Amino acid sequence: MLKPINRVACSPALFACQQLMQRFALWLCNPAITYAHINQQGLQPPVLASNIEANWVWDFLQSIEAGQTLLSRAQTVAVMPVAQKTVLMTWIQSVSALATQFQPAPTLWPINCPVTSASDWKAFKTLMEAFYEKGFRSGLPYQPDGTPTAVDGVKYADYVEAFRNAHRLNPVLDAREVCVLCGGPLGDTPHVDHWIIKSKFPLLSVCAENLALICSTCNEAPNKGYKPVHSNGSFADWFHPYLRPGNGALHLEYVLADLSVQCSSLTPADQSKSVKLDELLNLSTRWTREFKAEYAKHQDVLRRREQRRLQNAQARHSVADIQSYVQQWQADLVHSEPHHEVHQTLALALQEPSRLAAWHSELGL
215 near Zn ion, judged by CB under 5 A: yes
The nearer residue to Zn ion, 169 or 218, going by C-beta atoms, is: 218
Query: What sign does the CA torsion over 203, 207, 209, 212 have?
Result: positive
Mask: binding to Zn ion, 10-29, rule CB under 5 A, as x and -?
A: --------------------
Q: Looking at the DSSP assignment, which residues form a beta bridge with residue 263? A: 252
**Cα–Cα distance for residue pair 363/95, rounded to 1 Å:** 57
Mask: binding to Zn ion, 171-190, rule CB under 5 A, as x and -?
A: --------x-xx--------
The nearer residue to Zn ion, 181 or 350, going by C-beta atoms, is: 181
Closest contact distance (angstroms) between CB of 6 and Zn ion is: 16
In 10 A of CB 69, how many CB atoms? Answer: 13
**Cα–Cα distance for residue pair 100/245, rounded to 1 Å:** 15
CB 48 within 8 A of CB 23: yes
Residue 20 amino acid letter: L
The nearer residue to Zn ion, 154 or 215, going by C-beta atoms, is: 215
The nearer residue to Zn ion, 189 or 267, going by C-beta atoms, is: 189
Closest contact distance (angstroms) between CB of 5 and Zn ion is: 12
Closest contact distance (angstroms) between CB of 216 and Zn ion is: 8
Closest CA to 301 of 350, 335, 344: 350
Mask: binding to Zn ion, 216-255, rule CB under 5 A, as x and -?
A: --x-------------------------------------
**Cα–Cα distance for residue pair 260/253, rounded to 1 Å:** 8
**Cα–Cα distance for residue pair 111/198, rounded to 1 Å:** 13
By CB under 5 A, which span of 55-63, 211-219, 316-324, 327-335 interacts with Zn ion? 211-219
Closest contact distance (angstroms) between CB of 1 and Zn ion is: 9
CB 337 within 8 A of CB 179: no
The nearer residue to Zn ion, 78 or 179, going by C-beta atoms, is: 179
Closest contact distance (angstroms) between CB of 224 and Zn ion is: 9
Instruction: Determine the Cα angle at 159 with ends 155 and 164, to 5°.
Output: 150
The nearer residue to Zn ion, 186 or 302, going by C-beta atoms, is: 186
By CB under 5 A, which span of 7-15, 38-46, 196-204, 212-220 interacts with Zn ion? 212-220
Closest contact distance (angstroms) between CB of 286 and Zn ion is: 8
The nearer residue to Zn ion, 179 or 196, going by C-beta atoms, is: 179
Helix axes 70-78, 118-130, angle to 10 degrees: 130
127 near Zn ion, judged by CB under 5 A: no
CB 21 within 8 A of CB 203: yes
Instruction: Determine the Cα angle at 182 with ends 220 and 162, to 5°.
Output: 85
Helices (H), 103-257: 118-130, 137-138, 156-166, 216-219
The nearer residue to Zn ion, 153 or 183, going by C-beta atoms, is: 183
Q: Which DSSP category does 49 fall into?
A: S
Closest contact distance (angstroms) between CB of 338 and Zn ion is: 9
Q: Looking at the DSSP assignment, which residues form a beta bridge with residue 212? A: 193
The nearer residue to Zn ion, 179 or 252, going by C-beta atoms, is: 179
**Cα–Cα distance for residue pair 263/163, rounded to 1 Å:** 25
The nearer residue to Zn ion, 43 or 281, going by C-beta atoms, is: 281
Contacts of 87 (CB under 8 A, 6+ apart): 114, 115
Closest contact distance (angstroms) between CB of 181 and Zn ion is: 4
Instruction: Tell me, by CB under 5 A, how many residues bind Zn ion.
Output: 5
Closest contact distance (angstroms) between CB of 214 and Zn ion is: 5
Closest contact distance (angstroms) between CB of 206 and Zn ion is: 22
Window 73 to 102, contacts with Zn ion (CB under 5 A): none
Given the rule CB under 5 A, which residues bind Zn ion? 179, 181-182, 215, 218
